[in-house]
Amino acid sequence: MARDLFAAVQQALGDLYLLLREGRKQGRIDSRRMEALPELFAHEAGTDPQTVTDQLVTGGLCAVGSPVFDVQGQAIGFVHYEADQPLVLNDERTSLAAVSRPPILFTPASDLLGSLQDPPTGKRLALPWIGIVHANGLRKEVAEYFGLKGQAAIEIADVVPGAPADKAGLKAGMIIVKANGQQLERGDDPRELPMILNRQILRMKIGDVVKLTVLTAKGEPEKDFPVKLEEMPDRPSHAARYYAEDLGFVVRESVFMDTYLRRLPADAGGVVVAAIRPQGPAQTAKLEGGDLIVEINGQTVKNLATFRQFYDEARTAKPRDAVVLVVLRDGRNQTLRIEPPQ
């Protein structure tokens, strides 16, 4: 049904484009009024009519939210928001921004097809992963050293033990050169390559197999590694939260990546600072987002439930006393004293 809906929308947009084009040719749309638009826009924008005509016809992508068509009149995407573009066409403050500074980027329809064809069901969204948490796109000179001239490549820096990539035999130092038999999609910068590959994997399903072609060492033949995708561990967006309103900060349950990236045991415990209210007591005490709170008033924090228990007890019994936290930051424990508002 979702696929039929997308096809219907795509066809309707294409038909609208063709109708406008044919209507002008056959005289059903006033060509004089259409031809007068560039001169009007040019006067308002302080530029010449030919520049506006080029932007309207070939150079720009109209306004935010506009559909984008190919030369056959098929809808292939839409213009997304850019920083200096208005969200509505009738904004008096930037009435001609779409003409004087036309957007040049758009979101392709392929980025939306997956969601339209397989819409959410109301359950928590499960995403696939392979378990490569650190990787680097090779710069031109490094790629050429490995005999990969003119080819995008990604060097694996870290593989999570027990993750799909580890089960498939992938190791740190190996270089990925293809995915499912196709050369890796290029970006504007080598640092973008791991993100582009990760986005490609996120479009797949849990249980799918992605075939990664890898160079294990310089001068060695390329080797294929089939990797069966598994469900990604809980993400921060899934974690339960608690708002310590009077002291002005939010904490959340610790998830897998919180402990893994800090090189801590999976059962290390603690809660992560998720947000801090500006000018609040927590900010004054130099508490920072991402801090891992491991103690509160000398008591060990195992999880969100114990933190909430100890915090509520402290604030109820002695509301005017400071709350002393021990946080793990940059690999070191720091002690912070948060004075409550008096």
In this structure, what token pair is assigned to residue 309?
């228990």
In percent, the amount of the chain with pLDDT more than 90 equals 54
Across the range 163-177, mean pLDDT stands at 95
In CATH terms, 236-338 corresponds, of 2.30.42.10, 2.30.29.30, 3.30.365.10, 1.20.1440.130, to: 2.30.42.10
Torsion angle (degrees, nearest 10) of CA 121, 123, 128, 134 = 130
Query: Residue 29: which pLDDT band, with cuts at 50, 70 and 90?
Result: very low
31, containing H or E segment = helix 31-45
Digit-coded pLDDT (tens) for 288-302: 999 999 999 999 999
Q: Distance between CA atoms of 135 and 154, rounded to whole angstroms?
A: 7
Assigned CATH topology for domain 128-231: Pdz3 Domain (2.30.42)
For 240: left if phi > 0, alpha if psi spans -120 to 50, otherwise beta; the answer is beta
With contact defined as beta carbons under 8 Å apart, do 310 and 326 qualify? no
Within this chain, domains 128-231 and 236-338 share the same CATH topology: yes
pLDDT for position 100 = 65
Digit-coded pLDDT (tens) for 175-225: 999 999 999 988 888 999 999 999 899 989 999 999 999 999 988 999 999
Domain regions of the chain by residue span: 2-113, 128-231, 236-338
- Nearest residue to 334 (alpha-carbon basis) of 302, 299, 294, 282: 294
Digit-coded pLDDT (tens) for 244-270: 999 999 999 999 999 999 999 988 999
